[in-house]
Amino acid sequence: MREARLAYLTQPVSEVIEGLVDQWSTNQNRPMDIDGIDVSELRKHLRLANDLVLAHRIAKGLSLDRERVTWARETIEERVMFALSEVDTACMPEGWSWQKAAETIAVQVALAIVHEQKNEPKVADDPLT
């Protein structure tokens, strides 16, 4: 059972997103209007995922340069927005919110990014490694 829950760690990010989209969308196709999402509100709900990626980079001694950190943040943001755009809001249970969905999707994307970074070389001149 644990292996099934952790299987997403070995999947590419695109497959993780597709799986989440499949879970949350149906043929009724009433997609969520993502134009109404406030970007600053979205970013508040993506903090945990961004912190997860950053913590992994710190723990593994990977580069913390602005370009890499920005890439990870933008990737999470883009993939969450894509996934939310595919959500069929008519099929969501009572009490469903895009905020909770964004948090859930973002953590899955962050875990996939962490998995992809496992083969990234450590920073040679970092005094902490």
Q: How many domains does the chain have?
A: 1
Is residue 75 a part of any domain in this protein? yes
CA 71 to CA 129: how far, in whole Å?
Answer: 23
> Is 60 inside any structural domain?
yes
70-87 pLDDT tens trace: 999 999 999 999 999 888
125 versus 47: which is more confidently predicted? 47
pLDDT at position 32 is 77
User: In this structure, is residue 10 part of a structural domain?
Assistant: no
| Mean pLDDT, all residues of the chain | 82
Does residue 69 lie within any of the structural domains?
Answer: yes
pLDDT for 26: 45
Residue 3 domain-assigned?
no
Enclosing domain of residue 128: 38-129
Secondary structure of residue 47 in the 3-state scheme: helix
**pTM value surpassing 0.85:** no
